[in-house]
Amino acid sequence: MGPSGPDVRGSVVSILLVGVSHHSAPVALLEAVAVSEVDRDALTEELIAGENVDEAMIVTTCNRVEVYSAVDAFHPALDDVVNLLSRHSGLSVDELSRHLYIRYSESAAEHLFSVASGLDSMVVGEQQIIGQIRTAYQSASEIGAAGTTLHRLAQQALHVGKRVHTETGIDSAGASVVSVALDRAAEILNASADADAPDAPASRRLDGRQAVVLGAGAMGGLAVAHLGRGGISRIEITNRTPERADRLSEIARDSGTPATAFPLDELATAVARADILFTCTGAVGTVVTLGEIHTALARRGDRGPLVICDLGMPRDVDPAVAGLPGVTLLGIEALKADPATSSAAADADAARTIVDAELTAYTQAERMAGVGPLIGQLRGRGGQVVAAEMRRLESRLPDMDDKVRDEVANTVRRVVDKLLHPPTVRFKELAAQPDGENYAAVVRTLFDLDRDVDEEAS
């Protein structure tokens, strides 16, 4: 199959992430893979019913489906998850695999922390995802699919997300890009006109203007809200899913902005009567073609300039559109480079710093937790050695006084404890390092932990 990864074997439990999102797949594929709350529990139970996945949690939003699993073998578990998504979506494994992203161990944790922080959302800083992660964990926990490993991961992710939103201004990062795009659009549209209020903010000089919004997700909602506050006279909204366009237009009307929804195949007609086009679909590949904009321009007459704000990631609009007369194309890269969005970029950087610090703390704690049982086994082995040696001594000296026997046993225990203490402390320190898992095998081999102590004492 398509995805590949490390050849991981053994009893060490790690996190496996298999996901698909607006970054990796077209809208049609996302819709096919989408997991409803009704289906989530059944799919999770099916996954853990197999032999290769110990714990599972499915995070699902309108723009992503991510399966987090606790596994002790990479490839068998990966096959199980991909096959599950294939059956659920009706897509072949090959077709689905081309759009999947796969993370393992520390990389999987880093991704979830970034998602919880709003760094991976279409609208950077989106807070809604925190609640969706919490819901995913609670759902998995209620059906017994989330054990110790996913509990620690989910709780840490929620902590990271809360910390980022509390300590940085990332909540407004996405809104700032939309605001800058609207200000730039207003400046361009009014550059050759006599503004009634030249000293007013550019975003307030949109009376009589019309806008088209392509995309009814979080970014589309922000665009509609900012257009309404900027004084736009009318908004027309379209989306691949008509119901979402209808809902967003209803929200706009409730806020006092005239708005209607229209079918996606009528985009050129709608753009012909608009001054601003906002695109924010999250689709992979071109959504607005050169031909559509050329057709719209032919129908505009002397309406004036058209400003296209392409906020899609990746871009929605064919770059060649920028060469058409009377069209200004504002891409998200240029908008993010605007000085007015510099604070948003700084907040995103601060959020990533928090994610990095929390990831380091989490991975160190996980390594320590992973070696805990081995340290217990090592200390238990020391106790077994003492017990075995005392049995051998008693067999040779059956008449030994009880007081003497106790004193000898205590002395042997102290000797064993003192001998084990330095390597145990050092082992804990080394286990917290990035390659700490290698030391577990060394300790097991050096102390021969798989051998029966009674065999040695016999």
Question: What sign does the CA torsion over 133, 136, 140, 142 have?
Answer: positive
Handedness of CA 202, 255, 222, 116 (dihedral sign): positive
CA 280: distance to chain centroid? 19
Q: How, if at all, do strands 64-71 and 55-61 pair?
A: antiparallel
55 is written with which tokens?
């714990």
Is 155 annotated in a binding site? The answer is no
- Is 216 annotated to bind a ligand? Reply is yes
Q: Which residues contact 99 (CB under 8 A, 6 or more apart)?
A: 20, 24, 25, 26, 29
> Residue 128, annotated ligand binder?
yes
Residue 39 Cα distances to 36, 60, 154, 345, 390, angstroms: 5, 11, 21, 38, 60
Instruction: Cite the active site residues.
Output: 62
Do the annotations mark residue 121 as ligand-binding? yes
Instruction: Tell me whether residue 61 is annotated as binding.
Output: yes
From the number of C-beta atoms within 10 Å of its C-beta (0-12, 13-18, 19+), residue 346 rates as middle
Binding residue per annotation — 215? yes
Is 323 labelled as part of a ligand binding site?
A: no
* Residue 5 is labelled as binding a ligand: no
Tell how many helices (H) and how many strands (E) occur in the chain: 17, 10
218 annotated as ligand-binding:
yes
Which among 236, 238, 181 has a CA at the least distance from the CA of 215? 238
Q: From CA 103, how far away is CA 19, in angstroms rounded?
A: 9
- Is-contact 332 312, C-beta < 8 A? yes
The label of the residue with tokens 């110790």 reads 148
Whether the Cβ atoms of residue 178 and residue 223 lie closer than 8 Å to each other: yes
154 is in an annotated binding site: no
Helix (H) or strand (E) holding 55: strand 55-61
Question: Is 92 annotated as ligand-binding?
Answer: no
Gap between the Cα atoms of 280 and 352, Å rounded: 24
Binding residues for NADP(+), by number, are 215-220
Binding residues, by number, are 61-64, 121, 126-128, 132, 215-220
Binding residues for substrate, by number, are 61-64, 121, 126-128, 132
